[in-house]
């Protein structure tokens, strides 16, 4: 029995969500440079706590953008998987990995956005408590969530046999995503910064290549 091809609406939604991911991830990266970096291990614990005690708006906006990006990512993967005929098992695995990642990611991003500034605004300040919560949020977000996202992209990329570009960009996203996870595990801010940029750029390029590949796959042999 011939499987029904995905509707034009589904394919159009995949393309729209690819661009949505690009815009949201680019926005999150831009906001992170000014809004998040002063609160990271690139600075001393005292400097970080003084910055976060002010509950800076850019900090909240940047983490909000990352949370929106996470939701856009899992929605894109779900629709992309739905558009790939005959590859439902890979799609389900990829979406399951991404859903697990987004659950962790949203928890850790909310901790960054709301809990850390609250801890830093208390008197007397408690650096040990701040560093414990910050480490929890960093490891959960960079290691667990990004590791799961990287696996999800790799799984779907190997289903996009119609496009070498999607396969190569997906592989690059996975490799740099795992490097980002490793950097998050070490806690070295410079390593995290060096891995984050390429990971996001490869991922954004992959979303477009994957959307185009799904459109070609829907045309059949």
Q: Is residue 199 part of a domain?
A: yes
Tell me, yes or no, whether 64 lies in a domain: yes
Whether 1 is in a domain gets the answer no
Task: Specify if 221 maps to a domain.
Answer: no
pLDDT one-digit tens code per residue, 16-61: 999 999 999 999 999 999 999 999 999 999 999 999 999 899 999 9
| Domain-embedded: residue 3 | no
* Domain count of the fold of the chain: 1
CA distance 86 to 81: 10
In a domain, 12, yes or no: yes
In-domain check, residue 35: yes
pLDDT for 163 equals: 86
State the residue for tokens 């589904």. 10
Q: Please list the alpha-helical segments (H only) found in the chain.
A: 8-35, 45-53, 57-83, 88-110, 116-120, 127-138, 146-157, 164-186, 189-218
Percent of the chain with pLDDT over 70: 94
> What pLDDT is stored for residue 133 in this prediction?
97
Q: Determine the structural domain holding residue 194 and report its residue range.
A: 8-216
């Amino acid at each position: 029995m011939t499987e029904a091809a995905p509707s034009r609406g589904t394919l159009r939604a995949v393309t729209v969500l690819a661009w949505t991911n690009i815009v949201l991830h680019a926005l999150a990266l831009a906001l992170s440079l000014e809004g998040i970096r002063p609160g990271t291990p690139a600075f001393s614990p005292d400097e970080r706590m003084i910055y976060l005690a002010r509950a800076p708006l850019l900090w909240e906006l940047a983490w909000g953008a990352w949370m929106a990006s996470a939701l856009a990512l899992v929605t894109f993967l779900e629709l992309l998987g739905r558009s790939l005929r005959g590859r439902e098992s890979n799609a389900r695995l990829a979406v399951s990995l991404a859903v697990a990642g987004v659950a962790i990611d949203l928890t850790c991003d909310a901790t960054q956005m709301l809990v850390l500034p609250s801890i830093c605004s208390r008197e007397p300040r408690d650096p040990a408590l701040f560093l414990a919560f910050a480490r929890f949020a960093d490891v959960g977000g960079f290691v667990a969530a990004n590791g799961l996202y990287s696996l999800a992209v790799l799984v779907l990329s190997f289903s996009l046999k119609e496009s070498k570009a999607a396969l190569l960009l997906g592989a690059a996203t996975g490799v740099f995503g795992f490097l980002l996870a490793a950097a998050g595990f070490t806690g070295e801010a410079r390593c995290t910064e060096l891995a984050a940029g390429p990971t996001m750029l490869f991922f954004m390029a992959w979303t477009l290549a994957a959307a185009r590949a799904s459109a070609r796959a829907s045309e059949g042999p």
